[in-house]
Amino acid sequence: MGKLTLDRILQSQGFGTRKWCGEVVAAGEVSIAGQVISDNHISLETRGLVFGIFGEEWIFRENVYIALNKPANFECSRKASHHPGVHTLLPEQFARRDVQPVGRLDHDTTGLLLMSDDGPFIHTQSSPKRHIPKVYVATTHDPVTPGLVAALLAGVKLHDEPAPLAALTCSMVDTHRIEIVLEQGKYHQVKRMLAAAGNHCVALCRSQIGGLKLDGLGLAGGEWCYLDDAQLALLKPD
């Protein structure tokens, strides 16, 4: 992004309006390398910039790319209606810089959710043309049978789809859980496919997107982390 004045830097990171950020700087609440900076017109190189505000250290990021371990009963919407939105799990400045979910998980579905303020990234990751596999672990109402796995692999017909939908892979985890891998990302797809195959989904968790695994991120439910370049590369199709 090049050089910006300090008030514009804080504004770009979602801390508030430019006027408010300037007042914060003038009040001596911003520091760089441990030195308080009270001149909001100072011009700084943003690349690699580390600054402190209200005693907390932040790294300048032109765009934010994060992974969230979404808990149940949170909605992937800025205008949540029946449950809190996933934005409430993040620092409040992320909402100001328009960080949005990449796709959606149902309110009762848990697991790996990507979020960003990079519009092209969100569009690319959400596009069905990308063919990025997503791994889900579904807990079933009735016991898992070889017939259920076979039906999901062969393809099941959903009433509003022109052709049967099939899992890329599907395997039994235990008596009441399956791991199913999909590319399409249709509305309620795992739940509807299980219903069409004669069972019922009682819990669903997304454990992986592309090569990015939730287990490898070390996130408890409701926790989030920034994604580095190596982790972002795992989201690209093979």
Residue among 7, 39, 98, 106 flagged as catalytic: 106
As separate numbers, helices (DSSP H) first and strands (DSSP E) second, the chain gives 7, 15
CA distance 28 to 210: 45
Asked whether 105 and 112 are in contact (CB, 8 A), the reply is no
CA distance 11 to 23: 12
Phi and psi based region of residue 210 (left: phi greater than 0; alpha: psi -120 to 50; beta: remaining) = left
| 160 counts as catalytic | no
3-state secondary structure of 114: strand
- Write out the catalytic residue numbers: 106
